[in-house]
Structure 1
Amino acid sequence: MQSDDKPTTGQPTNGQYKLSFPELFNQLSSVPPAPEPDGQHGAGRLAWLRAAWKKTWKEGGFLYERWEEVGQARHVSWYEIATWIKATLLFSGLSLIVLMLDAAGDIASAALKGLSDVPASGTVDGSGLWGTVDHPIRVFLANQAAHLTVAPAALYAFWQLTGLLGLIGGFFGNAGARIAWLLFGIGSLAMIWSATPAGGRAAATGLAALMWALASIFALRGLTLRPIVHNHPAPAPVFSPTLHLHATLPAPTPAGDDFGDEPDNLHPLQG
């Protein structure tokens, strides 16, 4: 039930009146200022603010109407939600996206900086299973970086980042990440074969291939070489019998037309 102090201007929106900010100022200006007691400067203004606050929360007030629109937003479609609510939601969503992108940029920058700090030279110990695979790659990149305008640490960091993104993206089924993972593995095997001494070249390359195959269990999860056949049952034929009747109707005889086909034994009465 609406009270008598509801403004009569504006267009109804979702069953409620669309109250503008000038009407809010009119509501506030309609509140009479409270007299200030002697010796208490500002007390009248506080009393006026309290009275104006209460008036806007009464039925038909500005804040009352906005609260009603928020309550109705849960039960109506997006097109029926008040415009100020949609604008607030869109602005909040865009702000959240900007914050997430900024945080993601900081994380990626820190990760690249951490990877770049890893030495990528032949001085790193190449013992152990991982060293057998990782050391030839470091040596190969260090030798190639001597002929390029890029630091060996940057090449090694890029190689690590490519493998990490290919592994994670391939796990979630991204086609581009799986292609990057395949190229990462082929390139790694080629670098290991090229930089490993001839005596242990085959063993190091085979060990790297096995490790890459085990990691591919996660990177290529769900990938199959069998063709996917979709068997869709054909729709059943629709049988709708129809019966067509053809009837020939004689043309009607015009009134007063005598074709002389009356019987001969019929004669008019004569008096």
Structure 2
Amino acid sequence: MPSNDKPVNGQENPSFLDVLNQLPPVPPTPEPDGKPGTQRLARLRTAWKESWEEGGFLYQRWEEIFQARHASWHEIATWLKAAALFGGLSLIVLMVDAAGDIASATLKGLSAVPASGAGDGSGLWGTVDHPIRLFLTDQAAHLSVAPAALYAFWQMTGLVGLVGGFFGNAGARIAWLLFGLSSLAMIWSAAPAGGRAAAIGLAALMWALASIFALRGLTLRPIVHNHPPQYQFNPALHLHATIPAPSPAGDDLGPDNIRPIQR
């Protein structure tokens, strides 16, 4: 009998279709309303019941699902691994597609926003923010993008760099450094000539204070790792003494060229 699963207790485990094909034909029985019964439906019912009995195809599949909660990845059935991988890949594809749609809609919305007001430039924050708004508005006139989109992107870059740098992300810290340098350059370009130095100094101080959080834990000191040696040297002197082999019996008189003195 063909089988689609591993043997159970030394016996072949028939599949649902095998059980269905092995069943004897069931004679049609009339229904209560007088219509003839369906033979295929009766066979399906019988095969369904047999498959859920102990050792049946569906019974084994349910046991594998129940045991997968306590088993390792290598002990889980192959069909469960394939289903989990397929479901995970499908979820990743859906998430990437949704993220792409959200990003596209956000960029289109920023581009459609009318030009933001330049502000009055009052206060400490206005001294730093007003030149940046003026610079972005002037540059957007030569680009196919709204000034509000440039300003929103500038704000988003600073926020991502600040939050990501606080959690120690290297890429976010690089973005934070580029954000600060570009902000100083824009302020220098758009600030009034008389107060340009004060605006740059004030912006640099604000950036330095915010860098306490964005560059948290960053140090310029070299890190020295003192690890114990992985090997141990034990000097020792080994002397090998060679013991000569004993002379054979009857050769006590020495070498052959020496003869005893004869009288």
Shorter-normalised TM range: 0.7 to 0.9
Q: 186-195 or 203-212, which moves further after superposition?
A: 203-212
| Residue 27, structure 1, aligned to residue 19, structure 2 | yes
1:68 CA drift (Å): 2.0
> Aligned letter for 1:191?
M
| Aligned pairs for 1:1-271 within 5 A | 9=3, 12=6, 23-31=15-23, 33=26, 35-39=29-33, 48-116=43-111, 119-120=114-115, 123-235=118-230, 237-239=232-234, 244-250=239-245, 253=248, 261=253
> Aligned letter for 1:229?
V
> Aligned letter for 2:31?
P
| Cα deviation digits, residues 190-240 of structure 1 (max 9, x gap) | 111221223333333233223322322232122112211111122462548
Q: Is contact 1:162–1:184 with CA below 8 Å preserved after alignment? A: yes
1:24 CA drift (Å): 2.2
Secondary structure of the corresponding residue to residue 243 of structure 2: coil
> Aligned letter for 1:27?
V
> Aligned letter for 2:139?
Q
| Cα deviation digits, residues 125-167 of structure 1 (max 9, x gap) | 4334433322211111222233344443343333233223322
Q: Is contact 2:19–2:51 with CA below 8 Å preserved after alignment? A: yes
Inter-partner Cα distance in structure 2 for 1:74 and 1:192: 60
Inter-partner Cα distance in structure 2 for 1:243 and 1:129: 81
| Cα deviation digits, residues 51-87 of structure 1 (max 9, x gap) | 3322111112111111222233344443332211111
Q: Is contact 1:120–1:156 with CA below 8 Å preserved after alignment? A: no
Inter-partner Cα distance in structure 1 for 2:122 and 2:31: 88
> Aligned letter for 1:35?
T
> Aligned letter for 1:24?
F
Secondary structure of the corresponding residue to residue 198 of structure 1: coil
Inter-partner Cα distance in structure 2 for 1:182 and 1:83: 49
1:123 CA drift (Å): 4.3
| Cα deviation digits, residues 10-48 of structure 1 (max 9, x gap) | 66389898968xx32111233454734242659756655
Inter-partner Cα distance in structure 2 for 1:167 and 1:114: 24
Could you tell me which residue of structure 1 aligns to residue 257 of structure 2? Answer: none
Note closer, same or farther for the CA distance 1:226–1:119 as it changes in structure 2 (3 Å cut): farther
Note closer, same or farther for the CA distance 1:64–1:196 as it changes in structure 2 (3 Å cut): same
Could you tell me which residue of structure 2 aligns to residue 268 of structure 1? Answer: none
Secondary structure of the corresponding residue to residue 135 of structure 2: helix
Could you tell me which runs of 5 or more consecutive residues in structure 1 were left unpaired when the two chains were aligned. 1-6, 265-271
> Aligned letter for 1:37?
E
1:187 CA drift (Å): 0.8
Inter-partner Cα distance in structure 2 for 1:155 and 1:205: 21
Inter-partner Cα distance in structure 2 for 1:175 and 1:217: 15
Could you tell me which residue of structure 2 aligns to residue 267 of structure 1? Answer: none
Inter-partner Cα distance in structure 2 for 1:27 and 1:168: 62
TM-score by length of 2: 0.76
Note closer, same or farther for the CA distance 1:238–1:57 as it changes in structure 2 (3 Å cut): farther
Secondary structure of the corresponding residue to residue 250 of structure 1: coil
Q: CA RMSD in A?
A: 3.6
